[in-house]
Every structure is written in C-alpha cells, then in structure tokens.
Amino acid sequence: RQRPPGTIRVRMATWAVVVALFWAFLEGSNASSVTPKFDSISSDLQCSGCTFFTKNLRTWVHRRSRSWRKMGNKKREKWVRKSLQKACSKIPEQVCTYKSKGKTEYADFGELMKKGGSHSGLSMSGDIKKELQTVCTELASEYASEIEEGYLSVKRPDKYNVHKDVCVEITGACGAKRKMIAASMATADEDVEDISADLGDLLAKEDL
C-alpha cells in the first residue's frame, strides 16, 4: 500500500537527522585525530603538557634574541622550525605527575625532590615520560604554522606570547577558555541526546 505524504515527509526528515548526526560524528573524529594523545589526557595534564612544550620552545627560539632584528624572515622561519624540532628533544630523565593546588601536573621528578616537602598524588613510570614526549611532539607538529606566523610577526621573540597563543587561545588547554570549552562540550552532548530522543519518537510514530 502507498504511504500517505505526511509519512513520507517524516521518513525524509528522519534520514536527514541521521545523516546530519553521522557527518557531525565524522567531523568530530577527524578534528581530534591530529593530536590523539593530547586529546586523551585530562584537562589538567593538557595544560601542563602544553606549558612544558611552549616553555622549551621559548628557550630555544630566544637563543637568537640578540640577532633577531638582523635576521631576515627566511632565517627567522628556519630558526623557529629548528626550535620546534628541538623543543621536545630534551625530556627529563624521570617524569612524574603530582597534585599542585588541586591540579595534576607533569614534573621533573629530580627537580621536584630538590624542592623538598611532601607531594600528593605522586606517580612515576616510563609511560608518563612517553606520554609527555608524544604530547609535546603532537603540539609542535599540529601548531607549527601558527607558531611560525606568531614569531615572524614580531621584532623580538619575547614580544610573542607563544604560551598564551597555543595553550590558551588555540587549544584552550589553559585558562578560562578551557572551562568554556568543557561547558560547550557538555551542552553538545545534551543536544545529541535530545536529537536521539526526537529521532526515536519519529521512528516510533512511523511504525504506528
């Protein structure tokens, strides 16, 4: 028997919702696949790992601070690229995580012990060092273009705040933006649940 026009419209609307959800899922998967390790760790460690990366990068780039003005853009770009490669080359021999002011952070275990005192939530293993290495490498690779552009836009390396640019503005790993992203993700999850419920209702009506 032929379905009434209203039923056909409901079926088309249903499939439109299904297709939209499918593409949204694919886009979300693709967006997170470029930095899988960074995306998989806690928000505290994302901030700490990003801070570690930008601190090391800044140390390398600033080695040419005195000659920066005399360097042309090509030489500056070449030096920034070399610094990006070197930024993750010196990971502390013993990397640990610990609680600092309620947040979990990466730390050089040897340096942490020199400070003395007790440290809560202390954890140390070879996997943590590998994790930090991977996080650092992912950030250096994924955001190289933005970092190069940032350094090439200033007359002195210290005029470009690479930590703010990468860790706060771009990734949202540190600062208030991290809370905003977490809130938006929670809202998005609720929207998906609502759409799924509506889809279930549409399918149920179609079967009646």
> Looking at 16-20, 42-46, 82-86, 180-184, which range is the least confident one?
180-184
pTM of whole model > 0.85? no
Phi-psi region for residue 134, left (φ > 0), alpha (ψ -120 to 50) or beta? alpha
Separation CA 136–CA 56 (nearest Å): 10
Q: Are 49 and 139 in contact (CB under 8 A)?
A: yes
For the chain, percent of residues with pLDDT exceeding 90? 61
What is the pLDDT averaged over residues 95-118?
A: 92
Number of residues that this document lists for the chain: 208
In this model, does residue 25 exceed pLDDT 70? Answer: no
Separation CA 173–CA 46 (nearest Å): 6
In this model, does residue 30 exceed pLDDT 60? Answer: no
The more confidently predicted of residues 85 and 190 is: 85
Q: Are 113 and 52 in contact (CB under 8 A)?
A: no
DSSP notation for 70-102 = TS-HHHHHHHHHHHHHHTTT---SSEEEEEETT
CA atoms within 13 A on the CB side of 45: 20
The more confidently predicted of residues 4 and 62 is: 62
Separation CA 141–CA 98 (nearest Å): 27
Dihedral sign computed on CA atoms, order 31, 77, 83, 157: negative
> Looking at 31-45, 48-62, 95-109, 142-156, which range is the least confident one?
31-45
Contacts of 163 (CB under 8 A, 6+ apart): 50, 51, 54, 55, 58, 174
- Taking only the tens place, the pLDDT of each residue in 135-173 is 999 999 999 999 999 999 999 999 999 999 999 999 999
Q: pLDDT confidence of 9, banded at 50, 70, 90?
A: low
> Looking at 61-65, 146-150, 186-190, 196-200, which range is the least confident one?
186-190
Q: Are 80 and 151 in contact (CB under 8 A)?
A: yes
